Structure 1
Amino acid sequence: MPANDPVPGSGDAALQAAAERAEATRHRNVPQFDDLPIPVDTANLREGPNLNDACLALLPLVGVWRGEGEVVYPTIEGPYKFAQQITFAHDGRPFLYYEARAWLIDDDGRVIRPAAREVGWWRPQADDTIEVLLTHATGVSEIFYGAPRNSTSWELDTDVVIRTASATEVNAAKRLYGLVNNGDLAYVEERAMVGQDLQPHTSAYLRRVVG
């Protein structure tokens, strides 16, 4: 190996990998309306308003991420494969906007149909607590509380779950997000629903496409 090449797994290799990814993602952002009289949302830290200091512990999440995952549960026939896009954006205020869209795929990656959608807000607090409000298209709303585990992972647990009369019974959830493998995003979620105890439900591995 030439003396100037980074050693695989080293800090230099991680920096080089991040720089290579940035070449493809740094010029992209979420769609914008350029005639709003207020700051627009940005998922690219190089554009738009400065990230609020209150959100610095969440800075690594800001961006748009795409990848694939798996959904399992005792009450479904699965496991099923899905693809997903997750957006973390901000407008300079002390919170992040969050959106996730998923679609079921077959073993060859072909789209079967649209699947889960959720939107919400990540609200970091002065004591490092993170308040997360999520609303799902299925009629369920959740309030999570959590905190950073370290500078690149975050753990959340539901404090309150409410649902409409037509929604599936959901009683609790837990999520763990983390940056892995030189900056990719992975998460796992456990859920207690339809009479089942808290147990694994979804997991995914995503790569940055914006930011």
Structure 2
Amino acid sequence: MEKILRRIKAQFDPYYEIPFATYKAVTPFLDIEEYPPRHLVKRRSMVEVKARYLLEGGMGLYAHTDKGVRCQKYFKENQIACDFNSYSTQMLSNKLIKTYVNTVAVVFYKKDFFPLSEAHPEFALLALRITEEVYNQNIKWQERMAGKNAKERVMIFLNKDPHALQLLPQKDVANMLSMSPEVLSRVLKELDKDGPSFDHE
């Protein structure tokens, strides 16, 4: 577990650096969970009670809408897979989370947050900074995508994560980029003809 904790610490230190001793103090409250492909990790109309740091694999966050179930976000290795709105408010959600492939995660439970925060205030500050970072990244992503046509959105997406299509179904990518799977397929064919460079802001 110590090796895993050091990996997590290295990931979170840029947000807010806390002593390694604090990570070790959290250890008794952590679980390691393994999930098979296409496993429903969190159902709709459930309160999110877990934050999952992905050691391997990937998950998608989906929402039930009037147009069906749509992928809104994906999580990959070294990211936290969580329905953050439900987790922070402890209110019901219309979102679900499921795996794409075999996935391993370190799990932290919401019920343990306040006891740990009282014992280790620096842990609460780290959690706050992580939440702020998730929010800021979402805002920046929306700003980058605003006003862009379909091809530009795909280029930005692939520039951010060139290997995403190896993990994600094209339908999910299309959902996240607000286009139909047919449009995404056409754009990908155009980009394949143009060459491998996706540099675009």
Q: Taking structure 2 as the reference length, what is the TM-score of the superposition?
A: 0.22
Higher helix share: 2
Q: Taking structure 1 as the reference length, what is the TM-score of the superposition?
A: 0.22
Higher strand share: 1
